[in-house]
A = this chain, B = another copy of it.
Amino acid sequence: MKIKHIVLTACSLLLATGLFAASKPAEPRYVLVIHGGAGTILKKNMSPAMEAAYKAALKQALEAGYAQLKAGKPSMDAVEAAVRVMEDSPLFNAGKGAVFTHDGRNELDAAVMDGRTLAAGSVAGVTTIRNPVGAARAVMEKSQHVLMVGKGAETFAKEIGLPVVDPKYFWTEDRWKGLQKVIKADSIKVQLDHDQKASTLKGTENRDYKFGTVGAVALDTKGNLAAATSTGGMTNKKYGRVGDAPIIGAGTYANNATAAVSCTGWGEFFIRSAVAHDVSAMMEYKGYPVEKAAAAAIDKVGKLGGDGGLIALDKKGHMAMPFNTAGMYRGAITDQGKIEIKIYKE
């Protein structure tokens, strides 16, 4: 009896000190997570060539961000580098490849946030700034403001020497065709729909055309988190509409005490739920792990009638990528450089 007791005590001690746990495979520590937008992305509608192109672009974005982290650069450098790759790719609804407004323009929004200082910057409704994510960062670092919109933001970007382009730079044939399709669908919808209020509020006609917002969250070697989001908004949007991407707390948030978050989806619902800040708040105030907080936040968006997804990364390298759409272009890389890329539901 006595020996059994000693053995049991020894076992308990070993378990408590975690020596037995060493035999378990080590949990991956993610340092960069990206998304290229959530929406009705179905395998049956995707050619193998298109799928390969998306995967290659996501890989390139992950590698660009990871290179910054490997070099010991701040997480802000990593998220900016990753988002720039996706802004420059015509595959995503951000920068080149942005969707068109009703007036046939490309109006771009972007935001960044630093989890260490809670510093943040964003731009909305800009049409001449080549990389909106860079402008958002400049607003954070080189002005006393957080949000600049329209012509004012463009003037600021030009004054501080950011690359400015002709609005034609953002034109792509695919997105132009997308606009024509949505304009047609919307006009048919208005003719058919007798309950105009419901139609206006629900706006379902745009759901399938708005995926493509891009975002990144990163954790650097000093343990600091950062988030960035960039988008062309919603196809056929009117009246200077701005979605959640440039709204700190809605589409973008980062706090070292909790997580870095970037959202994609039907922006109006993400604003109303303050999704990115809500993930942070549930972690801080309810003690939720990042996965649970992220899932709960997307769940609330769904209950309101909206759809989309988000990426979130905490200080320990735990990440979450929940979405309630058919798919979300997404990828992650560990501190060891191991890459995971996914498109559809699993």
Using a CB–CB cutoff of 8 Å, the interface residues on chain A facing chain B are 113, 118-120, 124-125, 142-153, 155-156, 200-203, 237-243, 247-250, 253, 267-268, 271-274, 277-278, 281-282, 285-286, 304
| Shortest Cβ distance from residue A227 to the other chain B in the assembled complex, whole angstroms | 13
Known A149-B124, A240-B151, A240-B152: A274·B272 in contact at CB below 8 Å:
no
Asked if residues A277 and B272 are in contact (CB atoms below 8 Å), the reply is no
Query: Which residues in B have their C-beta under 8 angstroms from that of A253?
Result: 274
User: What number of copies of this chain does the assembly contain?
Assistant: 2
The CA-CA distance from A238 to B281 in the complex, in Å, is 32
Given contacts A146-B271, A203-B144, A249-B274, contact A239 B152 (CB under 8 A): yes
Q: Which residues of B contact A144 (CB under 8 A)?
A: 200-203, 268
Between A113, A153, A281, A286, the greatest number of chain B beta carbons within 10 A of the residue's beta carbon is seen for A281
Which chain B residues lie closer than 8 Å to A201 at the CB level? 144
List B contacts of A155 (CB < 8 A): 239-240
Q: Which of chain B's residues have a CB closer than 8 A to the CB of A142?
A: 200
Give 7 CB contacts A-B under 8 Å: A118-B272, A148-B241, A151-B240, A248-B272, A253-B274, A274-B277, A277-B278
With A and B bound together, what is the CA distance between A151 and B127 in angstroms? 14
Chain B proximity of A35: nearest CB distance (Å): 21
Contact A240 B149 (CB under 8 A): yes
Q: Report yes or no: A242 in contact with B148, Cβ–Cβ below 8 A.
A: yes
CB distance from A101 to the nearest CB of B (A): 9
Additional A-B contacts beyond A146-B272, A247-B247 (15; CB < 8 A): A118-B272, A119-B272, A120-B271, A125-B150, A145-B268, A146-B271, A150-B150, A150-B240, A152-B238, A253-B274, A274-B274, A274-B277, A281-B282, A282-B285, A286-B286
